[in-house]
């Protein structure tokens, strides 16, 4: 009898583009992929922040590059991707939230959120997929979605709409790109403590609501996403596509 062999989590000789890498979950994903052997390219609007992060990563002898990228500019993003190396892995962590009641939502805020979270994410994923297909390579494309892509939330109608849409195009792209050996998935975190979210946790009623909903009994950390992104990027998940990997502490289970 021959025992099954565990698929590898190694990302050696693979290249990864991490968008939204200048803070929080994006930075954590970049570090996780680099620790498992990937050559990483950090992308974001804030190039100054990327320089600081890349300098720290280079101290650990990670192979890292940086590029300035704003996924709201569809044409420039597409042109930039077409001129770069062909990436084996995409992690899109670029996102924005503008919370308000549904009755008080402003069209400006609606456009701001959906342009980044949906429109930008869609065409970024498309651009990377086109390059992989043209080179006849295989790939793993990962969008950082949210638990709010699967449920609703108070004062989060626009954000939920954008993330539900990400879940939708992920499934459709997974179907279309499967025969090109490209997998497309999302990671759906609960509330993660970052520099961008700390204001939410500083409001007592908000923190209480979050802590009550997370069944595991604690707030999420960026480290909680690191294992998930390595799994989806690696051969360990070679049959996983069109899926949503929930990292929500049991929020949606209830």
Question: Is residue 170 within 8 Å of 148, Cβ to Cβ?
Answer: no
Collect contacts of 100-105 with beta carbons under 8 A, ≥24 apart: 100/155, 100/158, 101/155, 101/157, 102/157, 105/157, 105/158
From 178, 166, 200, select the one nearest 71 (Cα to Cα): 166
Kindly give, in sequence order, each residue whose CB lies less than 8 Å from that of residue 176, ignoring residues fewer than 6 positions away: none
Residue 159 among the catalytic residues = yes
CA–CA distance, 151 with 154 (Å, rounded to integer): 10
Q: Kindly name the residue from 159, 177, 231, 251 that is annotated as catalytic.
A: 159
Sign of dihedral through CA atoms 26, 31, 32, 37? positive
Which residues are catalytic, by number?
Answer: 159
């Amino acid at each position: 009898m021959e025992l099954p062999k565990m698929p590898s989590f190694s990302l050696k000789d693979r290249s990864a583009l991490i968008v939204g890498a200048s803070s929080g979950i994006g930075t954590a994903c970049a570090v996780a992929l680099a620790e498992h052997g990937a050559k990483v390219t950090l992308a974001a609007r804030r190039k100054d922040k990327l320089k600081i992060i890349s300098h720290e990563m280079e101290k650990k002898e990670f192979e890292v590059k940086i590029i300035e990228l704003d996924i709201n500019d569809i044409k420039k993003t597409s042109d930039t991707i077409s001129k770069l190396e062909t990436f084996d892995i995409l992690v899109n962590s670029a996102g924005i939230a503008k919370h308000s009641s549904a009755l008080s939502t402003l069209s400006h805020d609606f456009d701001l959120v959906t342009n980044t979270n949906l429109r930008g994410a869609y065409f970024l994923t498309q651009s990377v997929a086109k390059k992989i297909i043209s080179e006849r390579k295989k790939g793993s494309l990962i969008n950082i979605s949210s638990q709010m892509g699967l449920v609703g939330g108070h004062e989060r109608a626009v954000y939920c709409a954008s993330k539900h849409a990400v879940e939708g195009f992920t499934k459709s792209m997974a179907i279309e790109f499967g025969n090109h050996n490209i997998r497309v998935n999302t990671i759906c975190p609960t509330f993660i403590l970052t520099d961008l979210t700390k204001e939410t946790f500083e409001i007592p009623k908000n923190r209480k609501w979050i802590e009550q909903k997370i069944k595991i009994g604690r707030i999420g950390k960026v480290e909680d996403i690191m294992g998930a992104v390595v799994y989806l990027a690696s051969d360990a998940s070679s049959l996983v596509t069109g899926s949503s990997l929930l990292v929500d502490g049991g929020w949606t289970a209830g």
